[in-house]
Amino acid sequence: MSEPSRALVLFSGGQDSSVCLAWALDRYEHVETVGFDYGQRHAVEMAQREVVRTQISEAFPNWAGRLGPDHVLDLRGFGAVGETAMTQDRAFEVTEKGLPNTFVPGRNLVFLTYAAALADRRGLKFLVGGMCETDFSGYPDCRRDTLDALQSALNMGMAQDFAIETPLMWLTKAETWSLSKSLGGEALVELILEDSHTCYKGERGTRHDWGHGCGACPACELRVRGYDQWVAAGRPALEARMR
Ligand code: ZN
């Protein structure tokens, strides 16, 4: 008998990690979530996490039984080290390395290391994250090569057998919408449109066809473009082979 498959989703309440949560619930028998408080500019991001979890449980009863506890880890000390536009009220710009100044050096490495320590304690094997190479943000710690190296380091350093799963790694933002539709149909698409939060500015007033947000910050721009491309393509579901 194989043991039940147990996963931990790095869950920010954003579009990508909300899709990752659905992907994990579709796939694993027990799924817990972890969020990181690193002094984000806006509390709305943290608040939407619980909304997405609750809405997913209510809309998808077969997933509700698989959804385990949520964990929030305090990484404010790390946030203070990597102070950038993400945590300070500074303009968005591109640094001399060609990286947006929203890049917090090593952030995903730290998140995954904390997640792995938690997963060790909770008996969770699969670490699921929304990292993606396709959106050209250029974050070096979102690359699959980086994550392969980190997975090896974590497994050696913790005497573990973790697998870092990145279901969005090779998908465009439009294809991420397609994945949502293939996992949970229009109900999941609407849930993610309405409840996931992407906007760097914490704007949740007007509901646009692509969701809530200012529509102008880099995160909103990416979200709007991806949604528009998906609509232009006829809102297709993802082909089963890509799941
Ligand atoms: Zn925005």
pLDDT bracket for residue 241 (50, 70, 90): very low
Model confidence at 86, in pLDDT bands (50, 70, 90)?
low
Task: Please determine, looking at this structure, whether the domain spanning 3-171 carries the CATH number 3.40.50.620.
Answer: yes
Alpha-carbon span 174 to 182, nearest angstrom: 13
| Centroid of ligand 1 to alpha carbon of 29 (angstroms) | 35
Render pLDDT for 146-155 as a digit per residue (tens, 0 to 9): 999 999 999 9
| Across 191-199, average pLDDT | 95
**pTM listed for this prediction:** 0.90
Q: Distance (Å, rounded) from C-alpha 159 to C-alpha 80? A: 30
Q: Give the chain's radius of gyration (CA, Å).
A: 17
**Tens-place pLDDT, residues 110-140:** 999 999 999 999 999 999 999 998 865 668 8
State residue 122's pLDDT score. 98
> Residue 83, Cβ neighbours under 10 Å: how many?
12
The residues, ordered by sequence, that sit 6+ positions from 204 with a Cβ below 8 Å of its Cβ are 44, 197, 212, 213
Can you tell me the mean pLDDT for 23-41? Answer: 92
- pLDDT more than 90, % of the chain: 72
Q: How many angstroms is it from 204 CA to the middle of ligand 1?
A: 9
149 CA distance to ligand 1 middle (Å): 33
What pLDDT score was predicted for residue 96? 61
* pLDDT of the residue at 29: 97
Q: In angstroms, what is the span from residue 197 Cα to ligand 1's centroid? A: 9
Please tell me the distance from the alpha carbon of residue 146 to that of residue 143, in angstroms, as a whole number. Answer: 5
Task: Identify the pLDDT of residue 44.
Answer: 85
Partners of 127 in the β-ladder: 8, 164
pLDDT at 34: 98
- Mean pLDDT (the chain) is 89
Distance 207 CA to ligand 1 centre (A): 12
Whole-number Å distance, alpha carbon 199 to ligand 1 midpoint, is 4
CA of 195 from ligand 1 middle (Å) equals 14
d(CA 211, CA 19): 14
CA 78 to centroid of ligand 1, rounded, Å: 24
What is the structure's pLDDT at 91? 56
CA distances from 93 to 27, 42, 45, 127, 133 (A): 39, 19, 22, 31, 20
Asked if residue 240 has pLDDT above 60, the reply is no
**CA–centroid distance, residue 223 to ligand 1 (Å):** 9
d(CA 36, CA 17): 13
| Ligand 1 centroid from CA 209, angstroms | 14
- pLDDT level of residue 43 (50, 70, 90 thresholds): confident
The Å distance, Cα 226 to ligand 1 centre, comes to: 14
Domain-by-domain residue ranges, the chain? 3-171
The band of 65, judged by pLDDT with boundaries at 50, 70 and 90, is very high
Summarised one tens digit per residue, pLDDT across range 208-230 is 999 999 999 988 999 999 999 99
Q: Is the pLDDT of residue 94 over 90?
A: no
State the distance from the centre of ligand 1 to the C-alpha of 176, rounded, in angstroms: 19
| Apex 111 CA angle, 15 and 181, nearest 5 | 20
Q: How far apart are CA 93 and CA 229, in angstroms?
A: 25
pLDDT value at residue 243: 44
Q: Pick from 5, 32, 17: which is nearest to 195 by CA?
A: 17
85 against 104, higher pLDDT: 104
**Range name among 97-101, 200-204, 229-233 with the lowest pLDDT average:** 97-101
Residue 3 Cα to ligand 1 midpoint, Å, equals 42
Tokens found for residue 51: 């909304």
pLDDT score, position 46 = 86
Query: Residues 181, 109, 36, CA angle at the centre, nearest 5°?
Result: 65
